[in-house]
Structure 1
Amino acid sequence: MRRADSLKRRIVVAFVLFGLGASALFAAIAAVAVEGIEVQLVDKRLEAAVAWAAPRHTAGLDVDMPAGLRFQRGAAIPAPLRGLADGVHKVDVGPTRLHVLAGHDAQGGWVLVDHESDYDKIELVVYSMFAAVFVGFMLLATLLGGFLGTRVVTPIRELAQAVGQDSVPPTLTGRKDELGVLARALQAHTAELRAFLDRERYFTGDVSHELRSPLTVIMGAAEILLQDAPPALRAPAERIYRAAREAAECVTVLLLLARAPELGSQAPVDLAKVARDEADKYRSLLAGKPVALRFDESAALAVRAPRELCAAAIGNLVRNACQYTDAGEVVLRVLPGRVVVEDTGPGLPPAVVATLGSGGGVPSSGSGGTGLGLALARRICDFLGAGFAYEARAEGGSRFTIGFTSDPGSRQPNVPLTGR
């Protein structure tokens, strides 16, 4: 998983953003409070002192100001303080910052200067403390977000790994929080799916196994008929034998799929030879039709898989193309990494293509052939990890492609169905 997609990182970012927002709000409130305190401690103090000193100075009386305060009028006002507008000012004279209250009365302008106010120092200390609190708050938000992110993400990661391993540990199912509820729900759902798949596999295996005996009897009886039957009965006997043989091959394929053999332990299968054999097997379906079956081998291709499965996947496509192509040609190609079957038949209608893409059964129409044939070919490709793709040819007909990985026996996702 990319770092940007990490749930833990998102939690940490959320805490940091919350810390930034809370700190900004706190800083704004603190700034207003500091300025308010300054008004009360400095400005009001200067205004009270002026209210006492100005009348006495006008009356010619002595103005005995508190320590640090100096009342000056007219020419006695220092040059840096002249011309100030009425009100409180902060004036820097050299390294010293003065609080000055300026005003006018009937006698002219005056200023009240505070030389010894320590409020600026106090203000600096207060803002320094605010900065330290901000840094500490952000650090705390980051650590808390990381801690909570770890506490939240670690069980989720363990749950994801457990689901991938088809086993949810008791440490997760025993939790009392929402993760425990999710773990128990996933455990129950996984058990239900496992039971369903086991029932389906056992049913397919049992049915396939039970069908082998009667099919063997039918094939044996058909062989006897082919040997002893008069010419008039040979054609029906051949159809019976061919149908029973195809049914037996289908049963074998279903039994292999039910048993799900390990592909990595299989011997490599030469797909070019398999494709050639399947083309020869179904060439008789074109008897009496103006259709040519062409086999093109331009590359060697081998995969680790049961030969019966490879033959069934390719054979179903070749058989359907031969059965439903009335004119033109059927081309079977073995190319680097893939096997392609093309025909000049009517093609597949959109409804059938949609059904094939969903993995369901396919109606018996067009060059799609029997629903069981294409559905079985798609299921075999799913099991082998091979790509299965259909597209309509621009000049008419169908093109089916079975794509294999370069590493025999390795799994890859299916190529999605497309159509032109």
Structure 2
Amino acid sequence: MLTTQLQHAAETYPDLTTNLRGYADAGSVPEPIRAWAQAGPDEGLYEFVAEELHVAVIPADTAQGRAFVVFDVAGIEAASAEDWWLLLVITTVVGVLGALGFGLGVLVMRRAVAPVVQLADVVAGIDLEHLSAADHTLIESGRFGRDEVGVLAGAIEKTLQRISAFVVRERDFTGSASHELRTPITVITGALELLEQSDLSGEDAKSVDRIRRATLEMKSTIEMFLCIAREADDGLYDEHFPVAPLVTRAIEQQRYLLDGKCVVVDVETLAAPVVRGHPQAFLIAVTNLVRNAFEQTPGGQGPITVRLTTRELLVTNRSGGDDACRPTPAGASSANGHGLGLGIVQRLCERNGWAFSLQTDEARVTACLSW
């Protein structure tokens, strides 16, 4: 504005004119603002856009007590409007360049992240529930270059190879172990049947009976561990089976543990539920719970309650107290724990979608198996 004012004065040389003038009274100010000045405005600065005037109202020793300083900006501010257009052009160019830069950045970012997204999609497509030896071929590190993504793909590929090899070894082991461990049990069972048919004394018959029970427990233990170790078991986990017969079978198989304890088993069958899962796994779980209850209940401290409802099986037994009958036979478990099989029961329940909980207090222990 100062430059424009100087040029405007140079054009009128030697008759220099000034754009800044003072007026002692309102009647002498320029005509466009005279009526306004005569109305007695307050002190301050005023701008009249249409008239292109800037006015300062100041106190003075006049009749009105006001003086006026008028700055005529005609021809000066008009030229400065070009600066606004220049600023608008610059702002527009900067905005366009910023938008182009943002779009280019998004494009570059997507192209940089694309291999990671592709790798994630490939990994998500692998069925981890049924992992096979060929699954590692779905991820080939060569497809992702030699950068960080390629290194990550190579690590995942090697991991899947190791997991696939482990699955193969697990299947081979469980298949071989199932045959090799069950064969001696079958031989022992056949020998016991032959011994039972012979003429045995009372002591020999008791020894044979103990061997038979130990063989049954060993067979149950082998089946239990093989059931847990197998990754797949021919779809038996989707079978529907009645619960009551398996509960009765487990109680009868473990009833010998109560010999000499004077403990009554109270079975309450309130429903006949049908459960979905692996029947052998259910029998193993119930057998563990019943065995723990029979072993941990002191002599004469019954009854042991087995309660079967529509949604759960409850096994409750006393956990302490003096024997009211005779001492527990030698060799019976006297530990205060609740059996080593509860962790196995928990794993079997998780595998089949059942729920297991154990509640204990000073008087009793309650095991709950729900479905």
TM-score, normalised to structure 1, is: 0.63
**Which residues of structure 2 form unaligned runs of 5+?**
59-66, 321-333
> Deviation of residue 261 (structure 1)?
1.5
Correspondence 1:47-196 to 2 at 5 A: 62-64=15-17, 70-74=19-23, 75-76=28-29, 78=33, 91-94=47-50, 98=52, 100=54, 110-116=69-75, 117-118=77-78, 119-120=80-81, 122-123=83-84, 126-127=87-88, 130=91, 134=95, 137=98, 141=102, 144-145=105-106, 148=109, 151=114, 154-165=117-128, 166=131, 167=135, 169-170=138-139, 174-175=143-144, 176-196=146-166
Q: What residue identity is the alignment partner of 1:378?
A: Q
Structure-2 residue corresponding to 1:417: none
- Partner letter of residue 324 of structure 1? Q
The correspondence for 2:261, drawn from 289, 306, 313, is: 289
* Offset from partner CA, 1:210-242 (integer Å, 9 cap, x none): 122222222222233333210122212111011
Residues 50-81 of structure 1: CA deviation (Å, up to 9, x unaligned): 9x79xx9xxxx94336xxxx333224364569
Q: Could you tell me which of 336, 346, 352 is aligned with 1:366?
A: 336
Q: How does 1:16-415 map to 2 (within 5 A)?
A: 42=1, 44-45=2-3, 62-64=15-17, 70-74=19-23, 75-76=28-29, 78=33, 91-94=47-50, 98=52, 100=54, 110-116=69-75, 117-118=77-78, 119-120=80-81, 122-123=83-84, 126-127=87-88, 130=91, 134=95, 137=98, 141=102, 144-145=105-106, 148=109, 151=114, 154-165=117-128, 166=131, 167=135, 169-170=138-139, 174-175=143-144, 176-227=146-197, 228-259=199-230, 260-263=232-235, 267-326=239-298, 327-345=301-319, 365-369=335-339, 371=340, 373-392=341-360, 394=361, 396-404=363-371
Q: Alpha-carbon deviation of 1:376?
A: 3.0
Query: How far apart are residue 338 of structure 1 and its match?
Result: 3.0
Identity of aligned residues (%): 25
Name 1:414's counterpart in structure 2.
Answer: none
Q: Is the 1:103–1:110 Cα contact (8 Å) retained in structure 2?
A: yes
**Higher alpha-carbon Rg:** 2
Q: Distance in 2 between matches of 1:318 and 1:232?
A: 28
Q: Would the aligned equivalents of 1:267 and 1:305 in 2 still touch at CA under 8 Å?
A: yes
Distance (Å, rounded) in 2 between the aligned partners of 1:299 and 1:184: 55
Unaligned runs of 5+ in 1: 1-41, 347-363, 405-420
After superposition, the Cα gap between the structure-2 partners of 1:202 and 1:171, relative to the gap in structure 1 and judged at 3 Å, is closer
Worse-superposed segment, 210-219 or 145-154: 145-154
Helix, strand or coil at the partner of 2:272:
coil
Contact 2:241 2:279 in 1 (8 A): yes
Q: How many residues align?
A: 324
- Looking at structure 2, the residues matched to 299 and 173 of structure 1 have their Cα atoms a distance apart, in angstroms, of 60
Structure 2: how far apart are the matches of 1:159 and 1:377? 36
Q: Pairwise CA RMSD of aligned residues? A: 4.0
Whether the 8 Å CA contact 2:236–2:278 is kept in 1: the answer is no
Distance 1:264 1:146 in 2: 52
More helix by share: 1
CA contact (8 A) 1:205 1:254 kept: no
The 1:230–1:189 alpha-carbon spacing in structure 2 relative to 1, beyond 3 Å, is same
